[in-house]
Structure 1
């Protein structure tokens, strides 16, 4: 049986392992953490959002980033300190402005395929992850913001999305917990929300029952590619206190799929490839709804406040996920209070519920300069990549996992 190694047990790695196992491969997944979905797939915004497929490659995004550099609470924050990786990435980002429309519409297409595939997997495998198929509602506070969004909406719908304009009154009918006055909005009824960590952990259990092996608590220290396959050298990660830190394990495989999130840049470098993933930090809070009043007042329909760039997802009866911000600050994973507080303040302004018990989190989104995932073979015959999904890993992973698995199958049949 053909053996495939997958690096990374986040949403892309686990969905890839699932699809490969369905095709009959012997799959081994390696991750430095002791459990699946412990980094970017742990506590994101929760949205399965084809409606949020617009890529960021616009001059307006750059201008806003420059304008907001001195505002610690800004939705987009760029640390100006010099980094070759960061500034090379930004130059490539600017170079992809010309591909804004085609990349946005391709992302819509992928998102719609992924949404359907994820629903199929969840139903077939009976995974409970607080799925809510109530759509996503975008709202705007000003006429200028709303009018700018009309052309974006037309472009998304041209790409296949079903999304329509709604008035202030219609928004409050869709989501009665909204109490403010808004200029207008757009509603995408087909989108959904769910707990990415619960889904990924649940699917990992499914794959283990199908024979997928997980090597948790291991870091990849070197990868060699040869005619017969690939050889990985692994050592115990800092989390793996039960293993000897100097012990090297050898893993041989017929092919390798890199699903390493923000670590994909370094992994690709080991293999002679350039996969220009840059880490873009996002923050979230999980508001624990411990009293009946808060549970009644918290929104069930997923929301996106376009002015604040903040999203919400209801995760069952007793949790509300609130997420936002994009921070270009390297591989720093610190949870900054001055980035968390605006999320708490936003909830307090918009809803009549208690934020007393709010759990903060920060994660690094693996972003490519063109805002498109890297789903392809590398320079070498036996190396593949499924990474760089940025802020849409949860949204796109079910499609890209199927795509990369088919590429593996075409090159290295079972």
Structure 2
């Protein structure tokens, strides 16, 4: 089949790669000049199956209320006259019950575990290198309340096969000596040895090169303006190139992997996707003092930040990313939020990074209220979804890409997950209408 993939981020590139592997003629369309130039450009770098507790959990409503109006809050709802934001917020609240949280953790862990296995297999098969580290991920807690709140989700994750071990503060410092500076503040930690980290942007660009060499066509600097329906299915994509020239691109099947733009493209077709942009921030710092910098990828759950380290011939860098700001499609850098991240880095690892050369970035994550992505079929027989991955696009990329390639090909997915438009062994997720 001729398959058109809309979007050349992590989800689009992995979808295209696996579709080509199954014998399809694949074309990828993206408005940027290079792959992974938006949400996948400077993310936190973690392959974190252990980061499976969704933003929507029983403790979230009170925290959100406490954080309202605080510019440096980890999760900031910037209230707008935007009906989509209000509807998303109501759905978010419905996902905060203990039962929904347990269900969503199950979905996220199963997809994450499978996706991590697919990444490792792909890395071996394709010989990919992307500044990866396979030293696990350490979640640390600087308040007893946050640590106590992590114990039940960690237990559920272990029951699902994600070995997120609860460890003491002293054990955490043994795993990551750079935490010794804050040892008196540590209440405890969890550690998942199987988790990884790596440069998602570099991975996507390297995989795109291999896909292109295998025959995948990339139409970069092409802006998708519409999906056109005829006879109950998608007939073609309308797009303009970098010079504004109009094109119709026809295919047999279409995969929507446009992140936060997905609901805008789908809405004229009568498909309402529960996705809202959650602006995340990152800071990249050159390593200033290697003895003070962390080696293991870290998660600071209290401040909703993740820490990765990239070491390559081009230099030794620290990447700190996180927080979420629900403010529509605004991508402006908020200096207060940027500086709050730098302050936290200096508090935890003083002198480790060169803050005078900090590079700030903000990107729009496609967030669903449940944190469970939308992967699978729609009401139109030749339109498929691979979107809504929120903060876990890198973690879920390979498993999602391989799964949608199998679904498009009429094959059963290999993972126990509630795919859209298909019978699922677990409780159903919200279906596109």
TM-score, normalised to structure 1's length? 0.94
CA–CA distance in structure 2, aligned partners of residues 108 and 271 of structure 1: 32
Shift of 1:122: 1.6
Equivalences for residues 237-386 of structure 1 within 5 A: 240=242, 243=243, 245=244, 247-289=245-287, 291=288, 294-316=289-311, 318-351=316-349, 352-353=351-352, 354-386=354-386
CA–CA distance in structure 2, aligned partners of residues 71 and 341 of structure 1: 14
Q: 1:108 matched to which residue of 2? A: 109
CA–CA distance in structure 1, aligned partners of residues 72 and 361 of structure 2: 16
Q: 1:190 matched to which residue of 2? A: 194
Q: 2:235 matched to which residue of 1? A: 230
Shift of 1:225: 2.6
Shift of 1:35: 0.5
- Spell out, residue by residue over 1:195-229, the C-alpha distance to the aligned partner (whole angstroms, 9 max, x if none): 00000000000100010001111111222233586
Aligned residues: 401
Structure 2 spans left out of the alignment, 5+ residues: 412-433
Shift of 1:310: 1.4
Segment drifting more, 94-103 vs 209-218: 94-103
Contact 1:7 1:260 in 2 (8 A): yes
Contact 1:230 1:382 in 2 (8 A): no
Describe the SS at the equivalent of 1:190.
coil
Describe the SS at the equivalent of 1:297.
coil
CA–CA distance in structure 2, aligned partners of residues 207 and 57 of structure 1: 36
Shift of 1:127: 1.6
CA–CA distance in structure 1, aligned partners of residues 208 and 271 of structure 2: 28
Contact 1:106 1:159 in 2 (8 A): no
Contact 2:44 2:306 in 1 (8 A): yes
Segment drifting more, 192-201 vs 247-256: 247-256
Describe the SS at the equivalent of 1:180.
helix
CA–CA distance in structure 2, aligned partners of residues 147 and 390 of structure 1: 25
Match among 209, 226, 230 for residue 213 of structure 2: 209
Contact 1:137 1:301 in 2 (8 A): yes
Q: 2:94 matched to which residue of 1? A: 95
CA–CA distance in structure 2, aligned partners of residues 380 and 125 of structure 1: 34
Shift of 1:112: 0.5
Contact 2:234 2:380 in 1 (8 A): no
TM-score, normalised to structure 2's length? 0.90
CA–CA distance in structure 1, aligned partners of residues 328 and 398 of structure 2: 27
Q: 1:4 matched to which residue of 2? A: 3
CA–CA distance in structure 1, aligned partners of residues 43 and 101 of structure 2: 25
CA–CA distance in structure 2, aligned partners of residues 369 and 223 of structure 1: 25
Q: 1:173 matched to which residue of 2? A: 174
Structure 1 spans left out of the alignment, 5+ residues: none
Equivalences for residues 124-143 of structure 1 within 5 A: 124-143=125-144
Describe the SS at the equivalent of 1:97.
coil
Contact 1:230 1:256 in 2 (8 A): no
- Spell out, residue by residue over 1:248-272, the C-alpha distance to the aligned partner (whole angstroms, 9 max, x if none): 1111100100000000011111322
2:54 equivalent to 1:55? yes
- Spell out, residue by residue over 1:83-103, the C-alpha distance to the aligned partner (whole angstroms, 9 max, x if none): 100001111122233421011
Segment drifting more, 18-27 vs 247-256: 247-256
CA–CA distance in structure 2, aligned partners of residues 211 and 73 of structure 1: 46
**CA root-mean-square deviation:** 1.5
CA–CA distance in structure 1, aligned partners of residues 275 and 209 of structure 2: 28
- Spell out, residue by residue over 1:132-153, the C-alpha distance to the aligned partner (whole angstroms, 9 max, x if none): 0000111111222211111111
2:37 equivalent to 1:38? yes
Describe the SS at the equivalent of 2:42.
coil
Contact 1:225 1:382 in 2 (8 A): no
